[in-house]
Amino acid sequence: MSDGLFQFLLRMGDNTLVLGHRISEWCGQAPGLEEDIALANTALDLIGQTQMWLGYAAEVEGAGRTADDLAFLRDVWDFRNLLMLERPNLDFGHTITRQFFFDAFHVLLLTRLQASSDARVAEIAAKSVKEAAYHLERSADLVIALGDGTDESHQRMQSAVDLLWPFAGEMFAADDVDNAMAAAGIAPDPASLRAEWQRKVDQVMADATLTLPESQFAHQGGKTGRQHTEHLGHMLAQMQWLQRAYPGATW
């Protein structure tokens, strides 16, 4: 069970770490001051959640590593994040669409995790869910505003939906780790979140005058570590450079 719990905690922490870093790349680059500040705050929220998830993962592993070690001293194949989250930002529409798809899932997952049989998991979820709910409110509003905005913003948002949709299904694909966590009452079967997530997405897409692709194909491999895109390696090279160049450096 400890290895399964460790893998689950890595998935939770790696998702928030990788997305948090991607969002932080907008700092000083966003299309408006308000969005610049909002995205920076979202990134900080996600990194704060990462500290809790990976900190608990390090304790469960019992190998003397810390949350910082897990963040900065693992290689690509040791990460367990969803493939969608490691994709580059491309443009603002792509970033917001990716954020919305994940936020809608994240809120549902954290809500269910508050009833986890693992007290630490429940505690972390309770601390994180309010932030995630705010992230979802903002990303949903922006998807609607941009989708139902100008011709150009609508086209960019539709392109983002078409591009990201094949990555969304990985959030709900269960494997042995998910089955073990569900059996132990630690986490829900991710497939059980799909219907409610779909209802939220359908509602927002309709308000945004956007159309979801019909295909149910899903890229997979990120959450198991079997496969990552080339983008994660480039991101880690930037994110981990200081710790790799100066091992053990502290402020």
Each residue's pLDDT tens digit, 14-64: 999 999 999 999 999 888 888 889 999 999 999 999 999 999 999 999 999
| pLDDT value of position 71 | 96
As a whole number of angstroms, the distance between CA 249 and CA 242 comes to 8
Return the sign of the alpha-carbon dihedral for residues 164, 169, 172, 173.
negative
The total of other beta-carbon atoms located within 10 Å of residue 248's CB is: 5
As a whole number of angstroms, the distance between CA 26 and CA 43 comes to 10
Question: For residue 1, what pLDDT band results from cuts at 50, 70 and 90?
Answer: low
| pLDDT value of position 251 | 73
3-state secondary structure of 158: helix
Angle at the Cα of 133 from the Cα atoms of 8 and 128, rounded to 5 degrees = 45
pLDDT > 90? residue 244: no
Does a structural domain hold residue 18? yes
Amino acid at 37: I
- pTM reported for the whole predicted model: 0.96
| Span 164-208, pLDDT tens digits | 999 999 999 999 999 999 999 999 999 999 999 999 999 999 999
To the nearest 10°, report the CA torsion of 195, 186, 175, 160.
50
Question: Could you list the residue range(s) of the whole structural domain that residue 158 is in?
Answer: 2-245
Does a structural domain hold residue 142? yes
DSSP annotation of 170 = G
118 CB-near residues (< 8 Å, 6+ apart): 5, 184, 186
Does a structural domain hold residue 113? yes
Does a structural domain hold residue 209? yes
Does a structural domain hold residue 251? no
Does a structural domain hold residue 51? yes
User: What are residue 60's phi and psi, to 5 degrees?
Assistant: -65, -40
Mean pLDDT for the chain? 96
Question: For residue 248, what pLDDT band results from cuts at 50, 70 and 90?
Answer: confident
As a whole number of angstroms, the distance between CA 94 and CA 177 comes to 30
161 CB-near residues (< 8 Å, 6+ apart): 97, 205, 210, 211, 212, 213
Tell me the average pLDDT across 119-127.
98
Contact between residue 156 and residue 120 where contact means Cβ atoms under 8 Å apart: no
As a whole number of angstroms, the distance between CA 237 and CA 134 comes to 31
| pLDDT value of position 2 | 83
pLDDT > 70? residue 153: yes
| Span 59-82, pLDDT tens digits | 999 999 999 999 999 999 999 999
Per-residue buried b or exposed e for 46-62, using 16+ beta carbons within 10 Å of the residue's own CB: bbebbbbbbbbbbebbe
135 CB-near residues (< 8 Å, 6+ apart): 42, 45, 99, 103, 106
Give the chain's domain count. Answer: 1
Query: What CATH number has the domain bearing residue 64?
Result: 1.20.1260.10
> What's the start-to-end Cα distance of the chain, in Å?
37
Does a structural domain hold residue 126? yes
Structure tokens, 17:
């770490």
Does a structural domain hold residue 250? no
